[in-house]
Amino acid sequence: MKERLNYDDMVSSLLVVTAQTIKGASQTLVNRLPSDQQPKLHKVEFELHCFLVFALDYWWQTDIAQTQEQKSCFGETLSSHLGIFWDTEPTGQALIAVEERFITYGQIVNEKHEKNDYAAKLFRFSTVLSDHCDIPFIHFSDVVHTLFLTAMELVHELNPFRNSVSPNQ
């Protein structure tokens, strides 16, 4: 009998993909930076990772193909995994920073723009990332756009499997 995929497996797989995606995106970004900015790679990776995970959750939660139960199971499982992934230091500062980023990004997606203007939202995301990394905004605009679309594509790639995912055991 074939074992069903559960939310733990799905979220774990997504987090592996996000880590790989972020390595590539941050390396691309750092290669464009002046040499005095390149030591910021770790900070850039952290900030881009927070953004991509937020974007994954955003697209999952706003996908009309997902039931409320599926949205809830995904959100709870993602939250659990993030707690494990980013709660690696005794002070919990990384997890606090992640929560702060998610609140900021949530405020951005909830801002009212004309015709739900994603260009304005992407601009704001880029500005926030620029501020957190202390790197000029221009370096983030295309990376943010690409990561936001990547998250949407990953969620849509999971749609054929959504009805075969069972709640975590």
Please return the burial class of 137, using the count of CB atoms within 10 Å of its CB with bins 0-12, 13-18 and 19+: middle
8 A C-beta contact, residue 101 and residue 51: yes
- What is this structure's pTM? 0.87
Assess contact for 55 and 22: CB atoms under 8 A: no
User: Distance (Å, rounded) from C-alpha 111 to C-alpha 104?
Assistant: 11
Is the pLDDT assigned to residue 169 strictly greater than 60? Answer: no
3-state DSSP call for residue 53? helix
Which amino acid, one-letter code, is at 2? Answer: K
Axis crossing angle, helix 93-110 with helix 41-62, rounded to the nearest 10: 50
Contacts of 157 (CB under 8 A, 6+ apart): none
pLDDT tens digits, 96-146: 888 999 999 999 988 876 666 888 899 999 999 999 999 888 888 889 999
